[in-house]
Amino acid sequence: MKKISIAIDGFSSCGKSTMAKQLAKTLSYIYVDTGAMYRVVALAALRAGVMESGDVDVEKLKECVKTLDINLDANAKVYLNGEDVESEIRGLEVSNWVSRISAIGFVRERLLDIQRELGAQKGVVMDGRDIGTVVLPNAELKIFVTADADVRAKRRYDELLRKGSPATYQEVLDNIKMRDHDDVNRKVSPLIQAPDALLLDNSYMTIDEQNTWLLDKVNEACNK
């Protein structure tokens, strides 16, 4: 079977990363979690006091971004300046800022170059918010994932509970609604479904049903 590039976009907490990671493993493809890259920038900005005033200090952020070294290992773990920050970037504090950080043009430009370089080779599964529209516009298979906000909040809340992160369900739901609004309305690369992307609403699908659907679409794309 020929190798293709697969772009997976969609709303937060739809399970895109888990889905993309499993699909890459099944196909023996490379997995790239672009959302994690933006989370790393948000974490670095928080550590550098970029949002101390309650808003993003753009000049401070520019300086912060200049010194960032972001790496992914073979298992898609993310490193900030050599430090494994995989757990820390999934916390609610980072989640509260990541959409606003990712809406800033120079942040997206810095990460876009890295992402396109990773996606230039075939046999790649990449997920994020603008993969099919901006990062990999020529991907052979594009999928746009959505789910009801209440369903996504429950999934995210359960995940945080398992990790021992303090949060209430209402806080998580409010965060998801805020991120949806920010992602759809940002001026730079807003979250939209590419015209040639297939829509996947996984609100009430089992993991097995979802995986079967995905593999069917991969087979169709590979046989075109």
Taking only the tens place, the pLDDT of each residue in 144-175 is 999 999 999 999 999 889 988 888 999 999 99
Query: Which pLDDT score is estimated for 122?
Result: 86
Q: Comparing 30 with 83, which gets the higher pLDDT? A: 83
State the burial class of residue 191 (Cβ atoms within 10 Å of its Cβ: 0-12, 13-18, 19+).
buried
Q: Which two tokens stand for residue 155?
A: 């999934």
Give the pLDDT of residue 205: 94
Residue 73 has pLDDT above 80, yes or no: no
pTM: 0.78
Domain range list for the chain? 5-219
For the segment 109-137, what is each residue's pLDDT rounded down to a tens digit?
889 888 888 888 889 999 988 899 999 99
| The token pair that represents 213 in the structure block | 């659907």
More confident call, 200 vs 113 = 200
Q: Give me the chain's average pLDDT, please.
A: 91
pLDDT average, residue stretch 79-85? 94
Reported confidence tier of residue 74, pLDDT bands at 50, 70, 90? low
Fold of the CATH domain 5-219: Rossmann fold (3.40.50)
- pLDDT > 70 fraction of the chain, expressed in percent and rounded: 100
CB 39 within 8 A of CB 90: yes
76 pLDDT above the threshold of 80: no
In this predicted structure, the answer to whether residue 37 has a pLDDT above a threshold of 80 is: yes
> Which value, to the nearest 10 degrees, does the dihedral of the CA atoms of residues 172, 160, 25, 141 take?
0
